[in-house]
Structure 1
Amino acid sequence: MTKDRRATDNKELILHGLSEFAKGNIEVLRELLHADFIEHSPGNPSGRDAFIEFIAKSPVAAARLEIKRVVTDADYAVVHYHMIAPGDEHGLAVIDVWRLVDGRIVEHWDVVQPVPDADEIPHGMF
């Protein structure tokens, strides 16, 4: 398989997974995550089952996700999105970086930033 084909496959996989997750289908993570999934975010557990259990109880499970950008290559997917949890007026700006191998997410990093009031960001967050 070519690198371009893997990049396209990775983008389709991630967009499908995010779409399903945003609909409340947390079980889609069982299809996406490798059993030995490695998590780099502080406080989040590694391992597919531990991570899914953690995410199911976190605010992200009930949040609305507004995808702004998706960049993929043969090994990585990067998604920039606005995550708005119930009761959070402004939400968070999030960048997720996923490393994929053979159609499974094997590793994850993220950067999360609160979205300030609009007058503090004259050019917008997104």
Structure 2
Amino acid sequence: MTTENKNIVQRALAGLIETGDVDTLAQSLRDDFVHHRPGSTTSTKGEWLAAVRAALVPLAGMRVEIHQVLADGDHVVVYSRRWLADTGPEIAVVDIWRIDDGLIAEGWEIIEPVAQVAANLVWWEPAQR
């Protein structure tokens, strides 16, 4: 099951990354799909697909390197590095996908600009006075 779940996610993302094909991605999502981001931001399938479509033009030419695809039961985790076109900033992204009945039911996404990694590693340290 975990191999099939990885394949579902990889097929969905490949179409989007390689061709910008949002419709193929949409076919991989359950009708009740929910996308989560930090800060309690969630969106429905329609809202998230609209946001993905709107981002296609500003993100055109973005380079994506997928470094890890890991599966455990009904969850698939994808770690990638992405660069905006024309030497734009590099970001590290972790996506977690939950699969249900052969479709993606939920997604979680964490994005961190690589240039801010050092500052983000010390968030727990007391402020310097």
Alpha-carbon offset, residue 56 of structure 1: 0.8
SS at 1:46 equivalent:
strand
Which protein has the larger Cα radius of gyration, Structure 1 or Structure 2? 2
2-structure distance, mates of 1:86, 1:54? 19
Structure 1 vs Structure 2 CA RMSD = 2.3
Which structure 1 residue ranges, 4+ long, deviate > 6 Å from structure 2? none
> Relative to total residues, which structure has the larger strand share, 1 or 2?
2
User: Alignment partner for residue 14 of structure 1, among 9, 25, 33?
Assistant: 9
Structure 1, unpaired ranges of 5+: 1-5, 121-126
User: Alignment partner for residue 31 of structure 1, among 27, 32, 37?
Assistant: 27
Aligned to 1:47: 44
Identity of aligned residues (%): 28
1-structure distance, mates of 2:25, 2:17? 12
TM-score by length of 1: 0.78
Note the 1:1-126 alignment, pairs <5 A: 6-23=1-18, 24-41=20-37, 42=39, 46-58=43-55, 62=60, 63-116=62-115
